[in-house]
Structure 1
C-alpha cells in the first residue's frame, strides 16, 4: 500500500505501471517517495517561517500545510511531464525549465530551515544589532532634547554667575567700609565717620539688590530646572515607547539579514542538500535508460495520436467527397427545364407582390 502511494506521488500512470516489472515499479516508487518527503520538508520549513511572522501555531501549521501541498503538486508535475524520448539532448532541453523551477523550490525550502538550524547564532547577531539600534535610538532622541536642556543649563549658569558677580561687589564694599572703620584704608581715620556711613549705605543698598537678585534668579533657576526635569521625563518616555519596536526586531527579514552576516559555507551546503533532493527525481529520469513503462506510455500516446490523425483525415476526405457530389448534382440541375420554369414562375409572383406592396405604401402616403 505504501509502495502504491509513492507511485501515485510520482505522477506515473498506475494502470500502465502495473503491467511492468517490479524493478520498474520500485524505480517510480523511489521517485514518488522523494517527491513526498520534499513536500514534508517544505511543510516544516514554511510552518516555521510563517510562525516567525504570525507568531501563532495553528495559523502557521494551516498555511504551512497549504504550502507543502503546493510544493508537492509542483514536484509531481515536474517529474510527470518529463518524457523519455531516447535522445538525451532533447530530454535535457525539456528538463531545463523544470530544473530552474526545482532550484527556486530548493531555495524556498532550505532558507527557513537554515534559520532554524542557525537560530542561536542568528539570535546573537540580532542581539548585537538590537544593542546598536538601542544606542543609536538614544542618540537620535537625545539630539531632539539635548539642545534645549543645554540652553536651559547655560541660562542657569548665567543666572548663578550674576549672583556671584553681585556677591563679589557686595563683599568688596563690605571690606571697604570695614577698612574705613578700622582706619586701615580710605581716610585712615579710626572710627565710624561720615565716609564710613556713606560706604556703609552703598553696601547696604547693594546688599538689598543682591538679596532681590537672589530671589528672582532662584525663581528662574527653579523654573529652568523644572523644564529640564520635564524634558528628561519626555526623553525617557520616548525611549520607553520606542524600545519595544527595537525589542521586536526579530522578524523574518531581520533573521534572513542576520543569517547573511554569518559564514556562507554552511548555508550553501544546506542549500546544495535540498537542491540535490529537489532535482534528484529529474536527474534520475534523465540518466536512467528508457524502460518498459516509457515504451508502454509511448505506445499508448502514439496510438491515440494515430487514431486522432486518422479521424481527422477521414473527416477531411468525407468533406471533399461531399463537395464533389454537391457540385455534380447542381451542375446536372442546371439543365432541367421544369426546374427553370418553376423558378421563373415563383420569381414572377414574388415581383408582383413587391409591386403591389409598393403601390399600397405610396397610396397611403398620398
Structure 2
C-alpha cells in the first residue's frame, strides 16, 4: 500500500486547544491509527512542523511525542520542503498576518476560529485564498459532537414537526486567578487582544444554528463584564475590558426563536457544559456534547401548576435517550480528516473561510446590537 507524506505547519500548538485537540487528539491520533486511507488506497501520513514563540516549550513538546520538526520562525517553516498545509491556533490578533503569509507561500490553510478580528478582515482573507487557488477551511468542531449529530439526525428525520424555539445554555465558572489559577488564558478577558465571549462563542452559535436548525436572520444581544478584574498567568492583576457573559436572541428562518446564554461567570447545574433544548409541535429534544434526549408529543405529560404542593414528578425521567447508532470519533479529528481528504483528493468540505466569515459577522453584529440596544438583521455575505 502506497504511503504519501503531507507536511503540516502547526502554529500555536503550545496553547491548550492547539495542543490537546489539534496536535494530540487529531494529527498524532491519525498517525497512531496508521495514517489516513484515501479513496484510492493511498495512506496519507501527516508530518507536523511545530511552530510557536517559546523554544523551550516547543522542544519539550517535540521530545515528548518523538517529533523533530519545530521552529519559532514561521517564515522558515513555510519554506520547508513537503509542507502543504498551514494550521493556525494562535490568538486571534496574530492570525491574519500569519494566514496571509501562508497564502503567499502557496499553502492550503486550516484555522481555528474566529478567522479574523472583524468581518472585513475575514472576507479579505477568503477572497485572497480564492485568488491564490488554495484550499481553505475553518474549525467548526461542535457540528461533529455526538450530541449535536444526534440532534441533526432528529431534525433531518422530521421528529420535531414545525420547530418553534431553541434554548441554549453554555458556560462554567472561570476562576479569577487569585486564590485558584484561571482555566482560561488572560487574553480572553482583554478586548484589545481579541478577547470576549461574544467574539468567541457567537462564531460557534452561527454554524450550529445555520447547520443544525435553520439560517440565522437577526440578532439581539446583551453583553456584560461581570468580573471587572482578574489575575494573569504571572500573578499580576489586570482590568477586564471584554465581556465575560452574553445573552443572545436570534431569529432563524421559519420564525424560529433561539435564545442562547454564554457565560464564564456561571456555575453548572446541567448534565453537560453546553445544552440545547429544541421544542417543536411534535416533540422536544435536549442535546449536549454527547447525550441527546427526547420527548415526543404522544409521550408528553400534562403537568399542572400548583405552587402549594411539592413537585412529585421526575421530569427528567419522562424523557428517552437517543441511541448512538454509530461510533463517534473525536470531533476535531473527524474534521481534520475531512480537510486532509479535501486537500489530497478533492473531497467536499463545506466549512471554508466564507463559513468562518459568517461566524465573525454574527459576532460583530452581536457586539453592535449590544452597543446600540436594538435588533439587527443578518444579511447574506457578498462573496
After TM superposition, is the score higher than 0.5?
no
TM-score bracket relative to the smaller structure: under 0.3
Specify which structure has the higher proportion of strand: 2
